[in-house]
Amino acid sequence: MTKSGILETRSHLSQIINKVMRGNEHIIMRKNVAVAKIVPIEENLLSQAQELIKRTKEVRETMIKVSINEINSWKKEGRR
């Protein structure tokens, strides 16, 4: 994480944005007080989560269906 004042941020905004695009965060300071934070957009995480949900549903469709009675009988069997 990097920090800079407002004037420095304005002067080097392009470089700061490039660093943020690579996953870094940047704090903008005013009179030694943090006033803003520039962070990367996490759209990629959202698309990864959606893909994972899709694949999980596909796997579940291939699995055998089990009733609650079967599960309870397995539990009782395991207690013996």
Tell me if the pTM is above 0.85. Answer: no
Shared domain for 10 and 30, answered yes or no, is yes
Structure confidence at residue 40 (pLDDT) = 87
Structure confidence at residue 77 (pLDDT) = 86
**Cα–Cα distance measured from residue 64 to residue 66, given in angstroms and rounded to the nearest whole number:** 6
Cβ contacts of residue 69 below 8 Å, gap of 6+? none
Structure confidence at residue 48 (pLDDT) = 85
Domain count, the chain: 2
Range of the domain at 19: 2-38
Q: Which residues pair with 33 in a beta bridge?
A: 30
Beta pairing class for 2-5 and 33-38: unpaired
Shared domain for 32 and 57, answered yes or no, is no
Per-residue pLDDT tens digits of the chain, which is 80 residues long: 999 999 999 999 999 999 998 889 999 999 999 999 999 887 777 788 889 999 999 998 898 888 999 999 999 888 76
Q: Which residues pair with 29 in a beta bridge?
A: 5, 34
